[in-house]
Structure 1
Amino acid sequence: MESLIKKLSKSHKDCPECPSPKVVHSFFESILGLLFPDFATELLKEEDQISEKIEELRHKLSRILIRNKHLHDGDGAEIAHLFFLKLENVYDLLIQDVQAMYDGDPAAKSLTEIIRCYPGFYAVAAYRIAHLLHSLGVNLIPRMITEYAHSKTGVDIHPAAKIGERFCIDHGTGVVIGETTEIGNCVKIYQGVTLGALSIEKADADKKRHPTIEDYVVIYAGATILGGDTIIGHHSIIGGNVWLTKSVPAKSKIYYQAKMYNPASDETDTYIIKSEG
């Protein structure tokens, strides 16, 4: 028991100012409530109230960053100031995302339904807020935000990924978007899609390991696209359960035609890629 106590004591001493998950999650939910009153605990009906809330959250973020200098290389107060200067761009992008999700889903009856009910929106909102912090040089906290959204939605988006305008995740559960993924504008993906890496070697950590998805691509449920050199050309359609490790040209349609197992010939299951340019 004494040995365990010593180990735990050292662990706590080595992390004296680590932001707790509760603090980070609370900050994210407060930002989300500021941007979208559907998530707010109180409505801010006057502009003065909004200004006061922004200042309160700016001070909160500044305090977190000042206490955790090991998580960034800059000035905590300045980073917090820049975050709120750039927050309008995040809001504008999210409004476009909501509209894209509404336009692309016949089942959606209102924009409010998208905001309040769609896990894809919640996950993308967490990503865009986390990505802004990541772009300002903040470590760990962005990942804590996206992993919090992951736990609530089943959508795993790394905050370092680059995602363009009007991004739509439909249904959402099981979606994985890796660290060096690049996604263009007006892309739509369905549940179970993986945009992953071919290599999991630590030596490749600083390389582009995840695919590039160009504008106006649709990726259907269960598709897996791997590799940093893999590019899905614009206006392509990737069918359900497709496995891709090579690039496809623009305006392609990629799908699988299953070949059933034949016990008589001991033939294994195979899949044939059909491409229509």
Structure 2
Amino acid sequence: MKPRDEEDGSGGIAGSDWNLDRIVAELRVSRAGSQAGDKHEQAAPLPSRKAVARIIDGLFAALFPTHFVLPDLTDEGIDYFVGQTLDATLRSLVNQVRLELQFASRQPDQSSGDQAQQATRITREFAARLPEVRALLENDILAAYQGDPAAKSVEEVRVCYPGIWAITHHRLAHQLYLLGVPLLARIIAELAHSATGIDIHPGAKIGASFFIDHGTGVVIGETAIIGRRVRLYQAVTLGAKSFPVGGDGTLIKGIPRHPIVEDDVVIYAGATILGRVTIGRGSTIGGNVWLTRSVPPGSNITQAQVRSEEFDKGAGI
């Protein structure tokens, strides 16, 4: 008698060992049930996470060729490499954009030619914004170097810091979000989230010279607006306080529900700021503060102050 884990003569595991006929049938029923309300999902392929990861690698190489790929080439050689890399990367991107447009389309009579033209237009506009994105990233890198006494060089910050890795993904994803391909943008955001533990929704608006120090556990919601020269530490949450529900019982989406953080604000580790509140310019929010109200410019909010307001004076209870 052959062992139960021995392969059968065809090179596969014997199906009778696992009752595969029943399992396959039940999985088919489950798929049919999950797709019953959205039939177009059955035929429309999604963008590929692996392909998007390769696209991001190509964009990183094109944006920072001497730091991630080619340290010794001449300027002319670098320009040639950047041009070739961008061409291949953008050709791949246009295919992924087209897949998202096909998946999202609710108009079965829309021609694939129209979607191909739209995908090309979106990709061309995205490419045109890359120099601006790179300039923003240089400001972010400099802000991290100036804001962290442990940083020995700008190049260390560029290649090692998880906050820079996360904001680079975000600035690319945000442009795609603005251009109308939010699924691709979300995939890029989740690639960074998986690698760094920093969760930035691609819809969040983040100004220049942004620095996340350490970074693990940072969460920034979709409608958050962050000004210039803002610094966050690990485990900071810029989240929503509540989720309004419509008459049909489903969440109302797209409404402003996350904080506005004005210029030159510092938010220390573990702080949680919820709702559409405004943190005034130049304020400092201390570690582990739980904040659900706006604060004026120049505020210095500590955990002890918040506890005193909520419990000793009765506010918010």
Partner of residue 205, structure 1: 253
Which of 1 and 2 has greater Rg? 2
Residues 104-123 of structure 1 aligned to structure 2 (within 5 Å): 104-123=147-166
Partner of residue 4, structure 1: 27
Partner of residue 130, structure 2: 87
* Cα separation, 2, equivalents of 1:67 and 1:192: 35
Segment of structure 1 superposing worse, 190-199 or 52-61: 52-61
Segment of structure 1 superposing worse, 173-182 or 73-82: 73-82
Residues 1-277 of structure 1 aligned to structure 2 (within 5 Å): 1=22, 2-5=25-28, 7-8=30-31, 14=42, 16-37=44-65, 40=68, 45=73, 46=77, 47-70=79-102, 75-201=118-244, 202-228=250-276, 230-257=277-304, 271-272=307-308
- State whether residues 65 and 82 of structure 2, in contact with CA within 8 Å, keep that contact through their aligned partners in structure 1: no
* Cα separation, 2, equivalents of 1:13 and 1:211: 34
- State whether residues 18 and 68 of structure 1, in contact with CA within 8 Å, keep that contact through their aligned partners in structure 2: yes
- State whether residues 254 and 273 of structure 1, in contact with CA within 8 Å, keep that contact through their aligned partners in structure 2: no
Higher helix share: 2
| AA matched with 2:121 | E
| AA matched with 2:48 | S
Offset of residue 184 of structure 1: 0.4
| AA matched with 1:54 | L
Segment of structure 1 superposing worse, 151-160 or 5-14: 5-14
Q: 1:13 to 1:79 in 2, by over 3 A?
A: closer
Higher strand share: 1
What whole-Å deviation, never above 9, does each CA across 1:13-70 have from its counterpart, x for those lacking one?
7154212211111111221122123774566931122112111111111122223323
* Cα separation, 2, equivalents of 1:273 and 1:103: 35
What whole-Å deviation, never above 9, does each CA across 1:90-129 have from its counterpart, x for those lacking one?
1000000000000000100011111111110001111000
Segment of structure 1 superposing worse, 131-140 or 41-50: 41-50
Report the count of equivalent residues.
262
What TM-score, normalized to structure 2? 0.77
Q: Which runs of 5+ in 1 are unaligned?
A: 259-269
SS at structure 2 position matched to 1:225: strand
- State whether residues 144 and 157 of structure 2, in contact with CA within 8 Å, keep that contact through their aligned partners in structure 1: yes
Segment of structure 1 superposing worse, 161-170 or 21-30: 21-30
What TM-score, normalized to structure 1? 0.87
* Cα separation, 2, equivalents of 1:138 and 1:24: 13
Q: Which runs of 5+ in 2 are unaligned?
A: 1-21, 106-114, 245-249, 311-317
